[in-house]
Amino acid sequence: MESAAIPATAEHEHHGPPEAHASSRIDRQTLGILLFIVSEVMLFGSFFAAYFFIRVVANVGPWPPDGLQLPKTVALVNTFILVSSSFTVHWALESIRRGNRRGLIMGLATTFMLGATFLFIQINEYVHIGFAPYTNAFGSVFYGLTGLHGAHVTVGLILLSFANIRAWRGHFTEEPKKHLGVEVPGIYWHFVDIMWIIVFTTVYIL
């Protein structure tokens, strides 16, 4: 009896997980940054949970404690600076989508400068604020939340620096797959801005 013929495609059989469906509306890089942001939201959530527990449940007294003043005006100006950077990074992305390379470069450079200015003001605030993380529970919560956000701003600035370098080298075009290096850092930067609005409202206003 002759053995059954082996299909010619058997030797090219695919091993491992199946390939992503070609009709998927979201690419891997964008999906990756969105999943990362979800994990970061949970991280911030744990810090906010500690904040509300200390302030509301533990009832540690006046908040902030007597004698401690937060520079709300400076923080408000800093908030406007960071929120403005969301518009400039959006301008950069829309520019490259229309093939406007100059707008891309200017938008990314402006976003980086605004973010760096925000971080500089935040560090300067730490230097002159008059209390430390170990002063009391309020100090620990204040530095914990604002410091966590500052760390995310630093990561965002690193991503933006790479995007700026690539923009100057002409790596991005208006093709959908050719400007992910702008879109992905932009998504992260919008997340950083939104989180600061929440931190600012919670720590400085409430």
Domain residue extents for the chain: 27-205
Confidence of residue 16 (pLDDT cuts 50, 70, 90): low
Predicted local confidence at residue 177, as pLDDT: 66
Q: How far apart are CA 84 and CA 193, in angstroms?
A: 9
pLDDT at 75 over 50: yes
- Bigger pLDDT: 107 vs 57: 107
Mean pLDDT within 55-84: 83
Cα separation values, 57 from 17, 49, 53, 54, Å: 48, 11, 5, 6
What's the CA dihedral at 191, 193, 43, 152 to 10 degrees? 100
What's the CA dihedral at 41, 45, 48, 52 to 10 degrees? 150
pLDDT at 148 over 90: yes
pLDDT at 81 over 90: yes
Confidence of residue 58 (pLDDT cuts 50, 70, 90): low
Mean pLDDT within 54-64: 72
Q: What is the pTM of this model?
A: 0.80
Q: How far apart are CA 127 and CA 71, in angstroms?
A: 12
Tokens of 25: 């509306």
Average model confidence (pLDDT) for the chain? Answer: 84
Mean pLDDT within 143-149: 93
Mean pLDDT within 46-71: 78
Tokens of 130: 């008059």
Mean pLDDT within 37-60: 84
27-205 CATH: 1.20.120.80
One-letter amino acid at 160 equals: L
pLDDT at 18 over 80: no
